[in-house]
Structure 1
Amino acid sequence: MSRKTEGAVGTATRVLAGDDGTNYDRVAIAFHWTTVLLVLVQFLLAQLWDLFGKPTHHLMVVAHMSFGILLAVVIVGRLVWRLMPGHQVPVIVSGWVGLASKAVHYLLYALLAAQAVLGFVLRWAGGEDMSFFGLLIPSPFAPWSRAAHHQVGELHENVGWAIIIIAAAHGAAALYHHYVLKDRVLLRMLPGHGGG
């Protein structure tokens, strides 16, 4: 496929997705807010499941695994969509603010990917299957030592907190752009304002 054809295909998919070239399209917006929702659900499940007894606790852990796998799929889909020709949106901030914005996005993607891997490793290192809405995914390796398993668990928890803190700062920055700087940074990612 020639570059001209690739560009035309990219433009066509972008227009069909509701993007006018300056806003995020409907698909990108859906990926973003689905990611936000799943991250919040994952964090709340992990923080609350110790408050419940066995059947509820177990169901919350299984839901956490299932939504974690779903989140990993959403992240991969989001990255593929973003890297497809025609889906790049021009930056409306420049200088160090633009660099900081890109750095935060890349850091969040890296942390989310690491968290997904850590989730699998944590279960499997403990000699347990992963579960995706009841479908069991057995461990490809033998259980690790208790100390190594504990370290993976601590790392998984710390990365989860890092994601929440950085995402909260990201959200606060978007609100600052909207209410103080009065630019379109936040509006471009809101349903109905961005991609239509």
Structure 2
Amino acid sequence: MDTANSAHYDRCTIVLHWLTAILVVGLFALAEIWAFLPRGTPTRKLLQSLHVSFGLAFAAVLLVRIVWRLSAGRRLPRASGGLPGLASVGAHFLLYALMAAQVVLGFLFRWAQGEPFSFFGLFDVPTLIPLSRDVRHFYGDLHNTVAWCIIVLAGLHACAALWHHYMMRDGVLRRMTSGG
């Protein structure tokens, strides 16, 4: 890799990163907003339908992101070693694990509800694992808890990027804002 491009992630990695961030925040916001609406209202049902559809999009983006990361993408040298480097690697691994768990929990929760779900009305997602409705609250609560964990960890991730950018001035944030 030439030195001119080593300071930036590739365009695909950057697009997948920011698309993931937008989807995570958007999915979280949809769920938090509908919680204030009365059950059964058209607006609440619309927000839930959008959440499911964008959740399916998130699942696809996450899968592409994982395949890209494991195959061709994200080829930057580690900027720091020691405890900061270990914390960075650990936080990224935990974010990926939580996001993957969230996708699985979303499917399990929806299947436990016994309701069909579709992708923007274009196609229905079949029930691959029939689950008892008795477990829907368990999966729903876990889905909510993992969502909060993702939001907190993503917030810390964003704070660390801003710390690097404004306090350390080491170019870490710029790596994810423009392609090489």
TM-score calculated relative to the size of structure 1 = 0.84
Q: Helix, strand or coil for the counterpart of 1:154?
A: helix
Between 71-80 and 162-171, the greater mean CA deviation after superposition: 71-80
CA RMSD of aligned residues (A): 1.8
Q: Helix, strand or coil for the counterpart of 1:80?
A: helix
Aligned: 1:161 with 2:148: yes
Aligned: 1:189 with 2:166: no
Aligned partner of 2:105 among 113, 118, 139: 118
Segments of 5+ residues of structure 1 without an aligned counterpart are 1-10
Segments of 5+ residues of structure 2 without an aligned counterpart are none
Distance 2:27 2:33 in 1: 10
Structure with the bigger RCO (C-alpha within 8 Å, sep 6+) is: 2
* 1:144 alignment counterpart: 132
Map 1:1-196 → 2, pairs under 5 A: 20-52=5-37, 54-85=41-72, 87-134=74-121, 135-146=123-134, 148-191=135-178, 195-196=179-180
**Which deviations, in whole Å up to 9, do the C-alpha atoms of 1:79-100 show, x marking residues without a partner?**
2222224642111122110111
Aligned length: 176
Q: Give the counterpart letter for 1:180 in structure 2.
A: M
Distance 1:76 1:58 in 2: 27
Query: By how many angstroms is 1:41 displaced?
Result: 0.4
Greater gyration radius: 1
Q: Helix, strand or coil for the counterpart of 1:183?
A: coil
Between 124-133 and 76-85, the greater mean CA deviation after superposition: 76-85
Moved over 3 A (4+): none
Distance 1:34 1:87 in 2: 16
Q: Give the counterpart letter for 2:82 in structure 1.
A: G
Distance 1:87 1:41 in 2: 25
TM-score calculated relative to the size of structure 2 = 0.91
Query: By how many angstroms is 1:164 displaced?
Result: 0.0
